[in-house]
Amino acid sequence: MRILILAPHPFYQERGTPIAVDLLIRVLSERGDIVDLLTFHEGTNREYNRLQIERINPFPGVNNLRPGFSLKKLYCDIFLFFRFIYLVRKNKYDVVHAIEESAFMALLICPFYSIPFVYDMDSSMTTQLVDRLRFLRPFRRVLQFFESLPMRYAEAVVPMCDALADEARRYRVRNMVVLKDVSLVGQGESAGVVKNLRQELNLSGKVVMYIGNLESYQGIDLLLQSFSIVKQKNIGTSLIVIGGVAEDIKRYQGLAKQLGISDWVWFMGPRPVDEIGHYMVQADVLVSPRTHGANTPMKVYSYLDSGVAVLATRLPTHTQVMNDEIAMLAEPEKDDFAEAMLNLLSDERLRERMSINAKDFIQREHSYSTFRERVHSLYKHLETVAH
């Protein structure tokens, strides 16, 4: 098949959605499909058989495009839309695989060329907009109606988690494949020597670690506030934060200083994905303090596959994947999160039991082979439609 993937974000970058798109392309390449990827101007190229990357060229240019809704992203979407029209007029595609808001572009254009399209739901756009722009809250139902349109008319809908699948089912989707993310542990080998953080930072006690971006919805405020409570009762513990851009790191360093914990909190900046597994095993507890959103963070699957105990907030973003047998779940409130952290840090047997259960679960449900099977199932159906 010849497939056009619409990816309205920088590609390739080592964060959630671009990593998921990279996995999709990898499977399609293994299938023998011809893939054109239309994406933003930022990011690095990836090499796969029969892959052609098409990039927009916005003028004037913008840079440092961050996750989530922004005016910069909206501006780039305009260029993506017109490049999309050019490509479907130039080439004969069997399927358009539209990610996030590009599903609206597919909804407008694909019917004119009799091309079936897939709506790949990596998040709820309504939730993102309402969380970012509070004045839109009274218009939530209107926004949900417009978001439902590509769900109603797509040949298939591909949510990345059960919560998004439940939302899509409200609109009587004909064909739906829940394409959950996978653990990235062991997906690649580190190109360099991974530092021993305990030696580098001269740490002797327990280590709590967070990995991911530092956007507000990730709950870093909650994490730091909870850790300040932990430090009052567990003097030897340190917190390591991996990820984030310079602006966010500076802001949270300031908060750590205000809370009086800056001597025990280390912001290491971003690290390559193929090194993350080596860093995770240096921790005693991995944390996901996310406070907003319905989709499950991709890092959670690698956390659970790491062999290290996991602490997360008891919210649908986590509970649709985790339960009390494979992770410690706490209310998204600083005292409860701190108490859960202390319980894990003080109980080695509990950490070991949870980490073993979690790894077994991930190997069964969220391996690359499971992901590949689901993509094959989706595209086997699309082949019958396209022909």
What is the three-state SS of 338-370?
HHHHHHHHHCHHHHHHHHHHHHHHHHHHCCHHH
Please report the DSSP string for 36-99 in residue order.
Answer: EEEE-S-S-----TTEEEEE---SS----PPSS--HHHHHHHHHHHHHHHHHHHHS--SEEEEE
How far apart are alpha carbons 166 and 156 in whole angstroms?
15
pTM over the 0.75 mark: yes
Angle at 68 between CA 120 and CA 251, to 5 degrees: 150
55 and 152 belong to one structural domain: yes
Q: Are residues 40 and 133 both part of a single domain?
A: yes
The verdict on 24 and 131 lying in the same domain is yes
pLDDT at 264: 94
Residue-wise pLDDT tens digits, 122-157: 877 777 677 667 777 787 788 778 888 899 999 999
Per the document, the length of the chain is: 387
| 332 shares a domain with 378 | no
Counting the structural domains of the chain, the total is: 2
Residue 23: inside a domain: yes
Decide if 70 is inside a domain: yes
Q: Specify whether 211 is located in the same domain as 320.
A: yes
- Regarding whether 358 and 283 lie in a shared domain, the answer is yes
Do 254 and 159 have their domain in common?
no
What is the model's pLDDT at position 363?
86
Report how far residue 337's alpha carbon sits from residue 334's, in angstroms, rounded to the nearest whole number: 5
In the predicted model, residues of the chain with pLDDT beneath 70 are 128, 131-132, 172-173, 186-193, 387
In degrees to the nearest 10, what's the CA dihedral of 347, 312, 21, 377? 80
- Ramachandran bin of 70, using left for φ above 0, alpha for ψ from -120 to 50, beta for the remaining angles: beta
| Residue 152: alpha-carbon gap to chain centroid | 25
Classify residue 71: in a domain, yes or no. yes
61 domain-assigned: yes
Both 172 and 232 in one domain: the answer is no
CA distances from residue 280 to 200, 245, 306 in whole angstroms, order as listed: 15, 20, 7
Residue 187 forms part of a structural domain? no
Please give the biggest Cα pair distance in the chain: 66
Residues 208 and 59 in one domain: no
Residue 191: the pLDDT is 47
Q: 356 lies in a domain?
A: yes
Q: Looking at the structure, tell me whether residues 299 and 254 fall in a common domain.
A: yes
Sheet of 238-242, strand order: 265-269, 238-242, 207-211, 285-288, 309-313, 328-330
Looking at residue 167, what is its pLDDT? 82
Domain containing 141 equals 2-182+367-386
Are residues 358 and 255 part of one domain? yes
CA separation for the pair 223, 71 (Å, rounded)? 29
Residue 192 is assigned to a structural domain of this protein = no
